[in-house]
Amino acid sequence: MRHGRRRTRARPQARPLTVAGLTIAAPAKINLGLEVRGRRDDGYHDIVTIFQALDFGDTVHLTPASTIQGESAVDGLDAASDLAFRAAYELQERIGRTSGVHIKIDKSIPVAAGLAGGSTDAAAVLLGLGRLWAADPEAVAETARALGADVSFFLRPGTALGLARGDDLRPLPAAPPHWVLLVRPDAEISARDAYAELRPAEWSGGHSTLQQADAVRHSRFTPQLLTNGLQPAAIRLVPEVAEVLRALESAGANPALLAGSGPTCFGLFPTRAAARTAEAQVKSPGWWTRTTRFMNPPHAAGRQL
């Protein structure tokens, strides 16, 4: 990542290296605010967002091998198209490595759900290969930047402000703790489709999310400032998203918001009991649900698997 002095965040911890390899946690994320300022000259969108890692996610197993091998954990996706395998190939080429790795991913994060499952798996692969291959940390960071803003964030997950394409990352102190109820309707939305559906009238200046970032810096959190500029686009693509949001609000979420580009939505709650009660209330055929919490040290970020 770039920029000057930074507040240090803990890296996800891997198991001690053995002949058999290592295992790394790959947390999901939500966005505590996402505003789109407009379209950039390079075709991407200029955004203001706050990334927040969750105490829930996938598990990535890496074993030394002669070549890069394994199977994609995503049905219908070949390994060459899987971001986790692309991460391994690109780091291998960047550092001139001849040996490989066997990659196995235990998936818990839904696919195309707005929770960055592919990006976090790719980051976990890079972190693991950084150890297995004794790769220079800057080579790992450069590979992550080439793969996308979310991948860079997951090299040191926690709470971070993302500017520009989301790749201008500014680490933030740990956000005040909250419990999170995730609800995903039986649908998928790619980030590409969500941004393509976005209308210029739905762009904004990013002020609410910048105010939220300032609040987090001062150990505060203001639910009323949470907004997601992609939410109207997601509802047009998957109208059931609006139904999920209403269900979360009726169950007491404060607030209920689209997660990333959707279609997963989330509600924030003060306690685990409140979130679990809400989870029981919003259950509906075809809806996936999960109760979790913000991941910040000393929770999932430092634990061994």
- Residues annotated as catalytic are 29, 150
CA distance 95 to 24: 21
Instruction: Identify which of 143, 153, 173, 142 has the alpha carbon closest to the alpha carbon of residue 28.
Output: 153
Give 65: exposed, middle or buried? Use CB within 10 Å, 0-12, 13-18, 19+: middle
Which pairing describes strands 68-70 and 100-106: parallel, antiparallel, or unpaired?
parallel
DSSP string, 199-220: -GGG----HHHHHHHHHHHTT-
Q: CB count, 10 Å around CB of 6? A: 13
Cα–Cα distances (Å) from 250 to 239, 264, 281, in that order, read 18, 17, 9
CA distance 157 to 89: 23
CA distance 68 to 72: 12
CA distance 202 to 83: 30
By the 8 A CB rule, do 85 and 62 touch? no
DSSP string, 82-98: -HHHHHHHHHHHHHT--
